[in-house]
């Protein structure tokens, strides 16, 4: 199979930068397009990058031509659930309009392989667990709706035009590359593991747990934490699948193991050797009690297997990064 050139939108962000590292490691050429709205120049792994937005269709077309791109991995998006409720316009513009312009540029330039960063937020509150890909899509916030709209757009484009895509619905991305060069940083940080670890480093005083009265084994929410490099691995397999003539499809990426918030805190205490102060807060509206993936389909069709199957090993990589994050990232995003 020929190693072609891949455009990675959002390649200076948390998940995109890890995927760029894997692409380059396996001999692909990766060109990053990022507007640095939430990304970091320090996370740029590829020497080939362009500062710009997916909303700028003319620019995207130029990049597709200049770098002879044959596939696009599309990570660029706004990804804060709470902000999407307060400012849905920003989300529909960047996530939906930005993707539409990107797809339109691809169609006009004859680029027809697309890998999309979707989310378990497309499902909403589950009717049953584990969540399989055919579960109804009933998102409970504008962020989840933007992902659902893009998935619909992809399905329609693949019927009408010559587009082949894979949509990957990530569950909770976590951890960092063990090499220590890359890791998670969102501003503001909203993800559980970095928030807890920042209590361990002393950057925060405590961690607020939103709801301790859910119908789960210890009353706190259950989520499926998937290591960032296992997400990267799924992208590489999806790319090879499309290059091998695979048909458009949608896959979950998760470990199929649910962990409660309390279990995550305990794992962080064990890994860091520090005690973490927990504060009990109110439930957040729209937070499902439990989200756990079925990964049967991606195992079967893409032959994907997660390497990180236990929480502590994921937390260990996140902790190694957290201790050096402020040295690696010289500036904040935006
Ligand atoms: N982190 C998770 O747990 C998770 C779960 C499910 C899905 N996702 C999806 O994965 C993708 C990456 O998430 P992340 O956690 O790495 O977020 P991130 O904020 O770290 O990365 C997003 C990157 O995209 C860039 N960007 C945003 N809009 C852009 C635009 N219009 N043009 C060019 N660049 C733009 C940002 O500067 C940033 O570098 C997003 O699409 C997100 O919705 C993330």
List, for the chain, all residue ranges whose pLDDT scores fall below the cut of 70: 1-3, 330-334
User: In this predicted model, what pLDDT tens digit does every residue of 227-284 receive, in sequence order?
Assistant: 999 999 999 999 999 999 999 999 999 999 999 999 999 999 999 999 999 999 999 8
- Residue 201, domain member (yes or no): no
- Residue 220, domain member (yes or no): no
What per-residue confidence (pLDDT) applies to 326? Answer: 73
Q: What is the pTM of this model?
A: 0.96
- Residue 244, domain member (yes or no): yes
What per-residue confidence (pLDDT) applies to 185? Answer: 85
What per-residue confidence (pLDDT) applies to 332? Answer: 54
Residue-level length of the chain: 334
Show the domain range for 41: 5-174+225-253
What is the residue with the minimal CA distance to atom 30 of ligand 1? 53
DSSP E strand boundaries for the chain: 5-9, 29-34, 49-51, 69-74, 113-119, 164-170, 172-174, 207-210, 222-223, 225-227, 249-253, 259-260, 278-281
Give residue ranges with CB within 6 A of ligand 1.
9-10, 12-16, 33-39, 53-55, 75-77, 79, 94, 98, 117, 119, 170, 172-173, 186
- Residue 192, domain member (yes or no): no
CATH number of 150's domain: 3.40.50.720
Kindly give the distance from the C-alpha atom of residue 219 to the centroid of ligand 1, in angstroms, as a whole number: 30
Separation CA 81–CA 285 (nearest Å):
11
What per-residue confidence (pLDDT) applies to 325? Answer: 82
- Active site (catalytic) residues: 143
SS3 177: coil
- When divided into structural domains, the chain yields a total of 1
Residues 6+ apart with CB under 8 A from 151: 116, 118, 122, 137, 167, 250
- Residue 287, domain member (yes or no): no
- Residue 167, domain member (yes or no): yes
- Residue 320, domain member (yes or no): no
- Residue 303, domain member (yes or no): no
Mutate to test the pocket of ligand 1, among 7, 11, 12, 15 (most ligand atoms within 8 A of CB): 15
What is the residue with the minimal CA distance to atom 23 of ligand 1? 10
What per-residue confidence (pLDDT) applies to 145? Answer: 98
């Amino acid at each position: 199979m020929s190693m072609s050139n891949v455009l990675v939108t959002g390649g200076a962000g948390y998940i995109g930068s890890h995927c760029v590292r894997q692409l380059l490691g396996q001999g692909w050429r990766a060109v990053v397009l990022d507007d640095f709205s939430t990304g970091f120049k320090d996370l740029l792994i590829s020497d080939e990058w362009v500062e710009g937005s997916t909303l700028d269709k003319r620019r995207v077309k130029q990049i597709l031509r200049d770098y002879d791109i044959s596939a696009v991995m599309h990570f660029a998006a706004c990804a804060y659930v709470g902000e999407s409720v307060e400012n849905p316009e920003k989300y529909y513009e960047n996530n939906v309009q930005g993707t539409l312009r990107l797809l339109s540029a691809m169609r006009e330039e004859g680029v027809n392989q697309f890998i999309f960063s979707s989310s378990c937020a497309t499902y909403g509150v589950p009717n049953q667990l584990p969540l399989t890909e055919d579960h109804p899509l009933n998102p409970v916030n504008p962020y989840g709706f933007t992902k659902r709209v893009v998935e619909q757009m992809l399905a329609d484009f693949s019927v009408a035009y010559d587009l082949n895509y894979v949509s990957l619905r990530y569950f909770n991305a976590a951890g960092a590359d063990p090499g220590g060069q890359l890791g998670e940083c969102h501003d503001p940080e909203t993800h559980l593991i970095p928030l807890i670890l920042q209590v361990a480093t002393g950057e925060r005083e405590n961690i607020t747990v939103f709801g301790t009265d859910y119908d789960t084994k210890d009353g706190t929410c259950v989520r499926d934490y998937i290591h960032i490099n296992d997400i990267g691995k799924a992208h590489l397999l999806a790319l090879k699948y499309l290059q091998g003539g695979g048909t458009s499809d949608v896959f979950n990426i998760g470990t199929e193991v649910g962990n409660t918030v309390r279990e995550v805190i305990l794992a962080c205490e064990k890994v860091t050797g520090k005690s973490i102060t927990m504060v009990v807060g109110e439930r957040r509206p729209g937070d499902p009690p439990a989200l756990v993936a079925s990964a049967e389909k991606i195992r079967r069709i893409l032959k994907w297997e997660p390497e990180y199957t236990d929480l502590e090993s994921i937390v260990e990589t996140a902790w190694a990064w957290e201790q050096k994050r402020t040295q690696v990232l010289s500036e904040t995003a935006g």
